[in-house]
């Protein structure tokens, strides 16, 4: 059984360095369908296994969700479109990267009792507003790109919520440590764009950088639609920082990259962005200025074997390079859900803890991505298993939360995560 799990996990392209903490398999002799109507999904022999996404797929932020959805689609292709001899059905809702559309999308998903699990959301705001509805409907939700740390805070976490995305605490800390220790810099400035993601990440960076003995010369903020960053950079230049950390998105991020070096006083400054700009569009938009800048991001190159394969499939299927960094997380999220459904067939619910490793990559003048030196192996994601049985997958969505021992297991996992983060 364990080998099978490992096989499924190995498919997950972003390196699953180890499968740990998997509670020892305690076979459940006879499956008794839970009496709870919400927790039970009856899937007949000819019914599809229905997975939904909840992502932003339209508008200006659309590329984030489209990228993630593609990750899920590739995962389905890798499964041959089938799971447990049933076809896999994927549909979903556009959650608009905002609280209101997120809640509406969640309400629509929650009304559909055939859905087994949800991959999403794209933005933290969506899940904060929509999470309770999904949770109440009993779904497991695995997010590929929610990075707000407190979403998995045991006090706030919605029942059934998980993520494969790394959180801001990890990435911000990794970036700050990298600037301090690898680049040996002492002064830094940050810019965020007023998005929850960027504000949070910049905040973590500031805290960690100060903790490590560095000085923050300026904490600036701009608007996501701004174009002229020369004034704010001029102001930053007065503080003479050695590095500027701007964990924002491509449009503004590329302009800051091109404009920074033209500002008197910033000619020698190091630039560092985060995974929000981890996209070919960024290098196209920033052109030559991007050479030599740093970015933190999930480390795909460390994930032996699987990822290039996914990339090739992506190229073949969509005829372009990935739009952002999160398709891999989405692929992993989908695979985790599939594995859970497959694995839990007739067995008990169970939790897994997966180690992943983000790192820092540097873009060198030869236009190649070189493996960063700072390995940070403690980013975890949680995943949840679903109980099912051979004849009509009957999934129990609440079992984990209801029986005392599994509940404890859930909490232990989450707490363990938070201790290490």
Q: Which residues bind other proteins (CB under 8 A)?
A: 57-60, 62-63, 93-94, 96, 98-100, 103-105, 107-108, 110-113, 125, 128-129, 132-133, 136, 148, 192, 194-196, 198-200, 219-223, 225-228, 230-232, 234-235, 237-239, 250-251, 254-255, 258, 262-264, 281, 284-285, 287-288, 319
What backbone torsions phi and psi does residue 292 show, to the nearest 5 degrees? 95, -5
Decide whether 23 or 239 has the Cβ nearer to other proteins: 239
Q: Cα separation of 68 and 200, whole Å?
A: 21
As a whole number of angstroms, the distance between CA 92 and CA 231 comes to 42
* Torsion on CA atoms 266, 267, 269, 271, rounded to nearest 10: 100
Pairing, β 49-55 against β 18-20: unpaired
CB of 201 to other proteins, least distance (A): 11
In the chain, the N- to C-terminal Cα span, in Å, equals 30
Which of 23/224 has CB closer to other proteins? 224
Least spacing, CB of residue 375 vs other proteins, in Å:
29
Q: CA 310, CA 333: separation in Å to the nearest integer?
A: 14
| Residue with Cβ nearer other proteins (81 or 287) | 287
User: Which is nearer to other proteins, 226 or 401 (by Cβ)?
Assistant: 226
Q: Smallest distance, Å, CB 13 to other proteins? A: 24
Bridge partners of 383, per DSSP, are 352
What is the four-CA torsion angle of 6, 115, 396, 145, rounded to 10 degrees?
Answer: 50
Q: Rank residues 4 and 284 by Cβ distance to other proteins and give the closer one.
A: 284
**Residue 296 DSSP SS3:** strand
Is the distance from CB of 42 to CB of 118 less than 8 angstroms? no
- Minimum distance from CB of 135 to other proteins (Å)? 11
Closest approach, Cβ 315 to other proteins, in A, equals 15
CA 258 remoteness from chain centre: 28
Task: Copy the structure tokens of residue 387.
Answer: 């109980």
Tell me whether residue 9 or residue 248 sits nearer to other proteins (CB atom). 248
Q: CB of residue 307 vs other proteins: minimum separation in angstroms? A: 23
């Amino acid at each position: 059984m364990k080998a099978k799990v490992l096989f499924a996990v190995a498919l997950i392209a972003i390196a699953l360095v180890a499968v740990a903490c998997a509670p020892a398999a305690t076979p459940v002799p006879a499956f008794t369908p839970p009496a709870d109507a919400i927790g039970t999904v009856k899937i007949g022999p000819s019914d599809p296994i229905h997975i939904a996404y909840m992502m932003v797929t339209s508008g200006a932020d659309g590329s984030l969700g489209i990228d993630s959805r593609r990750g899920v689609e590739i995962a389905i292709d890798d499964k041959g479109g089938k799971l447990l001899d049933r076809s896999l059905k994927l549909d979903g809702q556009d959650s608009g990267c905002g609280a209101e559309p997120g809640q509406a999308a969640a309400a629509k998903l929650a009304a559909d009792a055939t859905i087994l699990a949800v991959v999403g959301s794209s933005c933290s705001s969506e899940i904060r507003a929509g999470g309770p509805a999904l949770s109440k409907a009993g779904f497991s939700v695995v997010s590929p790109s929610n990075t707000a740390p407190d979403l998995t805070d045991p006090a706030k976490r919605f029942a059934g919520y998980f993520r494969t995305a790394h959180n801001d605490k990890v990435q911000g800390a990794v970036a700050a440590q990298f600037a301090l220790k690898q680049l040996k810099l002492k002064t830094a400035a940050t810019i965020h764009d007023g998005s929850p993601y960027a504000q949070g990440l910049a905040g973590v960076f500031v805290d960690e950088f100060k903790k490590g003995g560095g000085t923050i010369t300026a904490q600036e903020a701009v608007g996501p639609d701004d174009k002229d960053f020369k004034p704010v950079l001029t102001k930053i230049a007065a503080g003479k920082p050695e590095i500027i950390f701007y964990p924002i998105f491509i449009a503004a991020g590329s302009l800051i990259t091109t404009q920074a070096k033209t500002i008197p006083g910033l000619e020698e400054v190091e630039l560092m962005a985060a995974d929000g700009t981890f996209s070919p569009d960024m290098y196209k938009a920033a052109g030559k200025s991007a050479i030599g800048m740093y970015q933190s991001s999930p480390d795909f190159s460390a994930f032996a074997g699987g990822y290039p394969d996914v990339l090739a499939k992506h190229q073949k299927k969509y005829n372009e390079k990935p739009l952002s960094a999160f398709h891999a997380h989405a692929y992993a999220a989908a695979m985790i859900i599939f594995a859970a459904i497959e694995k839990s067939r007739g067995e008990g619910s169970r939790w897994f803890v997966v180690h992943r490793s983000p790192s820092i990559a540097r873009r060198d003048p030869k236009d190649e991505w070189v493996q960063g030196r700072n390995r940070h192996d403690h980013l975890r994601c949680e995943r949840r298993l679903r109980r099912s049985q051979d004849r009509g997958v009957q999934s129990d969505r609440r079992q984990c939360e209801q029986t005392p021992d599994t509940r404890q297991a859930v909490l232990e996992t989450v707490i363990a995560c938070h201790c290490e983060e």
